[in-house]
Homo-oligomer: A and B are copies of this chain.
Amino acid sequence: MKLVVIGGDAAGMSAASQARKRLGPDDLSIVVFERGHYTSYSACGIPYWIGGAVEEKQKLIARTPEEHRKNAIEVRLRHEVVGIDLDRREVVAHDLAGGGEVREPFDHLVYATGASPFAPEWARVRDAGVFGVQTLDDGEAIHSWLDRSPTPRRAVVIGGGYIGVEMAEAMVLRGLEVTLLEKSPQPMGKTVDPEMGALVQKAMRSLGIEVRTDAHVEGLETADGRVRGVVTPDGTLPADIVVLGLGVRPNSALALESSLPVGPTGGVITDLRMRVEGVEGVWAAGDCVESRHLLTGRPVHVPLGTHANKQGRVAGINIGGGYATFPGLIGTAVTKVCDLEVARTGLTSKEARAAGFAFVTASVDSTSRAGYYPGAEMMTIKLIAEKRTGVLLGAQIVGRAEAAKRIDALAVATWNRMTVEEMTSLDLSYAPPFAPVWDPVLIAARKATEAVHASL
C-alpha cells in the first residue's frame, strides 16, 4: 500500500509519521512531496529567529528529511505537485530543481499544501524586498535579505494580526525603524475586542513601533527593482523592506482543479477523521483545510500549527487503521508583544454578534499573583457569556508575565459549554506565588455572572 503526502510541514509529516507508527515499511510505503527546502519546521518560530531570540534556523526544524528517511518516509524536496488524478489515483509533480515531471501512484493521499500569505495585486513583486511570512523558505528570504542589505533601515509591516505584530517586533529587535499599517482602528482587530486591541497598540508604541491605524495601502513605490515606499492616501511612507501580514489563504487551487470539495472559507472540506468529504482514501490536514467552529457550528479557516499537528496526527492514525477524530476548534490563540501577553478563546464580541448570539460581557483587572507577593502583575480578563443561559462564549486576556496561559482554563471551560455561574465554583489552583485567592479567572466569572443575572 502506498501513501503519498503533498506538503512536508506540520500536517503532512504528522500524518506520515503517525501512519508509519502503525504500519511498517512492508505494509505501507510513504512518499512526501515538498515544494520547499525543509520539512517539519515551526513556521510560528520564524519571527523569533528573524528577531534573534532563536539563534539558528536549524532549531526551528523538528525533523529533517534525513530523519524522516530513517523512519522509512521518502521525502522529495523541491517537488511541487501540480495535478491529482483521482481516477488513476496518482499525483503529478514538477521537480523544481532538476526539472521534469514525476508521476506517483497512491492508495492513500494526504493533501497538506498549507496556506500562502495574501498578497494584493500590487504586492506581487519578486526580489524587491517585499515578503510574506509563511514557510521557512519565506523566513530565510527575509533573514538573508536583512543580513545582505547594506542599510535596511525602515521596515513597513502591512497588517496588524499575529504575524504583523510579531514581525514588527522582530524588525525592531533587528534595529530597524518600524511602521505598522492596520486598516482597522486598532491592531489585532480580528483577534480581540477593540479595548483589548488598544492595549496592544499601546505596547507596540512603547516598543518604538509607529502604529498607523485606519490605514489604507494603495501600492508600492519601487526603484531599481527594489521597494522604496508604501503608497497611502496620506502620502508615501519610505520603506527599505515591506512585510505582508494580511492573513493567509488556504492553498486549495490544486484541490479545486482535482474536484476535491472546497468550502466557503476556501479550505478543503473534511469529515471528523480528516478524510476529504466523500473521497475515499484522500485525506487533508493543516492550513489548507477548513474546520468546524464548535460554538457557531460554522466552517472556519484557522491556520495555526496546533491545529495542523492535531489534524495531521488524526489523518495518520486513521490511515494506519486506527481511529481518531478532530472535532473542531474554538478559536484559542495567544501571542506576545514585547512583554505584553495577549490571549483569546471562543468568540470575540464581533464574532458572537455575527453568529447571532445575544450576550453580555464583563471585564476585570486583577493580578497574576497575590497582590502582596513580589512580581505580581496586572492583567485584564474579559468574558463574553450568552444572555439568559450564561454559557461562556469567549474570553480574552491582556497582561504581563503569567497572564496569557490562563486562557487554557477558559478554553477548557468554553469547550465544555460551562456557564459563567458554574465557573465561579471552579476549583482552580491557589497559592500566593501563583494567584490571588480569587484567581482573575474566577473574579471574571463572578462579574460575568452578575451581568447575566442583570440581563434576565
Question: A residues engaging B (CB < 8 A)?
Answer: 10, 42, 44-45, 48, 53-54, 59-60, 162, 304-307, 309-310, 324-327, 329-336, 341, 343, 345, 370-374, 402, 404-409, 411-413, 415-416, 418, 424-435, 437-439, 441
Contact = CB atoms under 8 A, between A and B. Distances in A.
Contacts of A310: 424-425
Contacts of A435: 405
A343 B435 CA distance: 13
A42 B437 contact: yes
A396 to B, nearest CB: 12
B428 A327 contact: no
Contacts of A307: 427
A45 B373 contact: yes
19 contacts: A42-B372, A44-B432, A45-B432, A48-B372, A53-B374, A54-B374, A305-B430, A332-B428, A332-B430, A333-B430, A334-B430, A341-B434, A408-B409, A408-B439, A408-B441, A409-B409, A411-B426, A412-B413, A416-B418
Contacts of A334: 429-431, 434
A341 B413 CA distance: 24
A153 B280 CA distance: 75
Given A45-B373, A48-B373, A409-B412, A325 B425 contact: yes
Nearest to A436: B42
A416 B427 CA distance: 11
Given A53-B374, A374-B53, A411 B408 contact: no
A17 to B, nearest CB: 13
A430 B306 CA distance: 6
Contact of A408 (B44, B428, B433): B428
B42 A429 contact: no
Nearest to A397: B429
Given A44-B370, A327-B425, A415-B426, 14 more contacts: A44-B432, A48-B432, A54-B374, A162-B431, A306-B430, A309-B438, A325-B425, A332-B427, A341-B434, A405-B434, A408-B409, A409-B411, A409-B412, A411-B428
A409 B429 CA distance: 10
B434 A336 contact: yes
Given A54-B372, A426-B412, A427-B411, A433 B336 contact: yes
A416 B289 CA distance: 30
Contacts of A335: 431
Contacts of A424: 310, 324
A49 to B, nearest CB: 8
A94 to B, nearest CB: 30
A370 B45 CA distance: 9
A53 B48 CA distance: 34
Nearest to A58: B372
B53 A437 contact: no
A54 B373 contact: yes
A306 B425 contact: no
